[in-house]
Amino acid sequence: MEKTIAGRNFVSNIPDVLDTRYRGTLLAKILAMPTKNAIPFDHAIRMVSAKLGEAFNAKQFGYEPGHYNWYLSYFIEWLSDEGYHIELSGDEFESYALPDKVA
């Protein structure tokens, strides 16, 4: 199922795949990125999506730099090496509905 990045006109399942690759630490890794040129989360996803498409079309699915699985496994590191950091606005993540009564 595709997910919407909240607050953006953008639908992608890549954030879920990245979070799985980072074993649930994607948000912590984003917050720990060194300050460089700030870009929004959806822009970073679009950038990696283009790289994934290039690697897919070239049939490069391995874990070597520039290959499909490498981009998924080293997304944060690649983005930082490119001179960027992700600046979160707070609306990238859907909030959970809470019941009216909390016991």
Model pLDDT for residues 57-95, shown as the tens digit of each residue: 999 999 999 999 999 999 999 999 999 999 987 766 554
Q: Is residue 23 part of a domain?
A: no
pTM: predicted TM-score of the whole model, two decimal places:
0.77
What is the number of structural domains in the chain? 1
Could you tell me which residue, 4 or 70, shows the higher pLDDT?
70
* Within a domain: 71: yes
**28 occurs within a structural domain:** no
Q: Residue 3 has what pLDDT?
A: 47
The whole-angstrom separation of Cα 79 and Cα 19 is 15
Give yes or no for a contact between 30 and 77, defined as CB atoms under 8 angstroms apart: no
Angle at which helix 14-21 crosses helix 41-57, to 10 degrees, equals 90
Inside any domain, residue 52: yes
Domain that holds residue 53: 39-89
Q: Is residue 59 part of a domain?
A: yes
Residue 32 belongs to some domain of the structure:
no
The answer to whether residue 34 is domain-embedded is no
Distance in angstroms (rounded) separating the CA atoms of residues 23 and 40: 22
The answer to whether residue 22 sits within a structural domain is no
Mind listing the pLDDT tens digit for each residue in 26-55?
A: 889 999 999 999 999 889 999 999 999 999
